[in-house]
Amino acid sequence: MNHKLLVSATALVAAMTFSAASHAGATLDAVKEKGHVQCGVTTGLAGFSQSNDKGEWTGIDVDMCRAVAAAVFGDAKKVKFTPLTAKERFTALQSGEIDMLSRNTTWTLTRDTNLGLNFAGVNYYDGQGFLVSKNLGVKSATELDGAAVCIQAGTTTELNLADYFRRHGMKYTPITFDRSEETIKAFEAGRCDVLTSDQSQLYALRIQLAKPDSAMVLPEVVSKEPLGPVVRNGDEDWFKIVRWSLNAMLNAEELGITSANIDDLKGSSTDPNVRRLIGLEGIKGQGLGLADDWAYNIVKQVGNYSEVFERNVGKGSALGIARGLNALWTDGGIQYAAPIR
């Protein structure tokens, strides 16, 4: 009797001690050990993260994760995706279920400070807009007093909507759903007059309508929505890898390096900037703790920022969104990445 008690007491104490040890800054090690990056994405949003019927994921956020995988493993395919609703995305990241969240998440002060998370950059500058049915005869968002508005729960969209209508002294009725697919279904069924979300999402949702031309996006952009990848606090190495993966893609576009010409440039280019990005000279992968060809792999396997943008949300896709704010600073937009040197 005494013996059993002693053994169980010791086991309890031992269990306590081991589980009390928490892991700080160990995401990179865990990822390398796992052999893949666990990436949190949406449950299905055209252009950003969507899986086809074969289970293959595409989208600008998906490519962000692939870029990180290419940097860490040299293989952009070493990613596994976890679909998350807007309500569960932060808890999944905080708890360690995913390594990074690439789910068109807006960078705000509250999220940066209250949740124990870090925003590693902005891969899409967006703004909130309104989608209305053309037969409502509305030409501007200021005519929406008293409207019923469909929104996705747990997003900055809800807050911005409240602010906008309050500022203009208008009333509205919010109809909140968990998933963006449900919002567009309710919009089509006539439950609400207006659908509000980030403009990129509006274009993506509009193509799901039976008659996409029956709805129009109103011209007003009522908020700033810088969307980007998110990682946990306290993980400096991992944070820097994600940040510089994005910067590599932007710098590649600036230098005119594409996935098609990178091999030629590797052999023939004498531009020191190009050579530094490809990993032939300069700091290479040393600072990040990665292989020397980390940026080369990103551009070769995923593409530069322009390729990623055009193929997912731009001219090469069903959404057809113009570069706008997301063009490089040299082309009239605000995408400006720190140099690789």
Partner 1 sequence: MPMDNQDDMPSRPPFWNDPDKRALIFQVLVLAAVFAFFAYIFSNTLHNLEKRGISTGFDFLNNEAGFGILMSLIPYDETYTFGRTFLVGLLNTILVSFLGIILATIIGFIIGIARLSNNWLVAKIAAVYIETFRNIPLLLQILFWYFAMLPLLPHPRQSVNFGDAFFLNSRGFYMPAPVFESPFLWVLAAMIIAIIAVVVLVRWAHKRQAQTGQQFHTIWVSLAILVVLPLIAYIATGMPLSWNLPELKGFNFRGGMTIIPELAALLLALSIYTAAFIAEIVRSGIQAVSHGQTEAAYSLGLRPGKTLQLVVIPQAMRVIIPQLTSQYLNLTKNSSLAAAVGYPDLVAVFAGTTLNQTGQAVEIIFMTMMVYLTISLLISLFMNWYNKKMALVER
Q: Which helix (H) or strand (E) holds 198?
A: strand 194-198
Q: Can you tell me which residue has the tokens 């020397």?
A: 292
Task: Please state whether beta strands 100-106 and 215-217 pair in parallel, antiparallel, or not at all (unpaired).
Answer: unpaired
- Between 96 and 332, name the residue whose CB sits nearer to partner 1: 96
Nearest CA among 185, 166, 134, 167 for reference residue 175: 185
- Give CA–CA dist 275/270, Å, rounded: 7
Q: Can residue 109 be called a binding residue for partner 1 (CB under 8 A)? A: no
Does 28 bind partner 1 (CB under 8 A)? Our answer is: no
Q: Which residues inside 158-197 make contact with partner 1, applying CB under 8 A?
A: 158-159, 161-163, 166, 172-178, 182, 185-186, 189-191, 193
C-beta of residue 290 within 8 angstroms of C-beta of residue 72 = yes
Q: What is the DSSP letter of 328?
A: B
What letter represents residue 258's amino acid? T
Comparison of 147 and 319: residue with beta carbon closer to partner 1: 147
Strands 37-41 and 100-106: parallel
Largest pairwise CA distance in the chain: 83
- Asked if residue 111 binds partner 1 (CB under 8 A), the reply is yes
Q: Which of the ranges 54-62, 143-151, 249-257, 298-306 carries the binding residues for partner 1, by CB under 8 A? A: 143-151
Q: How far is the CB of 183 from partner 1 (least distance, A)?
A: 9
Q: Which is nearer to partner 1, 158 or 310 (CB)?
A: 158
Return the residue of 30, 43, 74, 153 that touches partner 1, per CB under 8 A. Answer: 153
| Closest residue by Cα to residue 195 from 185, 183, 203 | 183
Residue 155 binds partner 1, judged by CB under 8 A: yes
Is 44 a binding residue for partner 1 by CB under 8 A? The answer is: no
**Interface with partner 1 by CB under 8 A: which residues?**
1, 5, 12, 16, 19-20, 22, 24, 86-87, 90-91, 94, 110-111, 113-116, 136, 144-148, 153-155, 158-159, 161-163, 166, 172-178, 182, 185-186, 189-191, 193, 232-234
